[in-house]
Amino acid sequence: MPSVNTESRSTPERYSVFLLAQNRLLREALARVLGKRNISVTGAGALSSASMEQIIAAAPDVLVMDSFTASVSNRELIRGVQLGVPEMKIVMIGMDADEQAFMECVREGALGYVLKDASALEVLATVRAVANGEAACPSKLSASLFRYVARQSHHVPSFQVKMCLGLTSREQQLVGLIGRGLTNKEIAGHLQLAEQTVRNHVHRMLRKVGANDRLAVVEVCRMQGLPV
């Protein structure tokens, strides 16, 4: 008995999209492709002073922007529409596989990224994935995300110590120097601070951490993951 492909018979959920692209032919081509795939194009146009109001009024599930539009905007548009339509997702169409441009789009809140030579099915798949709360980008750019996370991981312990213990960046710096065995006088010389200033920092650290001595502060911070 042959198997039945229920997925092909199911009706996909309908999403709404706003197309913001400088190239009219690109807008029209995307509108045709998306319209044939149960995706409603609620608006389309080039970047203008009225774009923010138009997008917010349309309240689409997904905003598709080309990279040229993203580069000429002063980011107020993206942040403005995100405030106006908090649930809206963003897909960027990049000119090429440039890591810096890709990461800039990610930092601005894009969950989807496709290249200018992407096929219609790739754009469609990206829009659907992003509408469902997923992230999508070309495989050649995936590695850049891993590299970014790896670089940021070196700063995570410092942030965690600040959140958990309330130690400032300067106090965490002192913890590292104390861990190296430096005295208050040596730390003062190293940081070009008054020795009394260092003592004041140490006393505040002891109070925040609830430790009895300098070395106990170091141990607590080490347990929180600070490299000391």
Domain boundaries in the chain? 11-151, 156-223
Report the pLDDT value the prediction gives residue 102, as an integer from 0 to 100: 85
- CA 71 vs. chain centroid, Å, equals 17
> What whole-number distance in Å separates Cα of residue 144 and Cα of residue 151?
11
Q: Do domains 11-151 and 156-223 have the same CATH topology?
A: no
- CATH assignment of 156-223? 1.10.10.10
- Band the pLDDT of 223: cuts 50, 70, 90: confident
Give Rg (Cα) of the chain. Answer: 26
Domain 11-151 has CATH 3.40.50.2300: yes
Between 148 and 71, the more confident residue is 148
Average pLDDT over the chain reads 82
DSSP state of 14: P
DSSP string covering 123-173: HHHHHHHHHTT--B--HHHHHHHHHHHHHHTTTHHHHHHHHHH---HHHHH
pLDDT of residue 155: 52
Sheet holding 89-94, edge to edge: 39-45, 15-20, 62-66, 89-94, 112-115
- The yes-or-no verdict on residue 131 having pLDDT over 90 is yes
Out of 99-113, 128-142, 146-160, which region has the weakest mean confidence (pLDDT)? 146-160
Task: Give dist(CA 35, CA 17) in Å, integer.
Answer: 10
pTM (global) more than 0.75: no
Nearest CA to 91 among 120, 69, 62, 118? 62
- 177: Cβ–Cβ under 8 A, 6 or more apart, which residues? 186, 187, 190, 191
Question: Of 128-137, 184-193, 215-224, which gets the smallest average pLDDT?
Answer: 215-224
Buried b (16+ CB within 10 A) or exposed e, 50-81: ebbebbbebebbbbbbbbbbbeebeeebbebb
In this prediction, residue 157 carries a pLDDT of 52
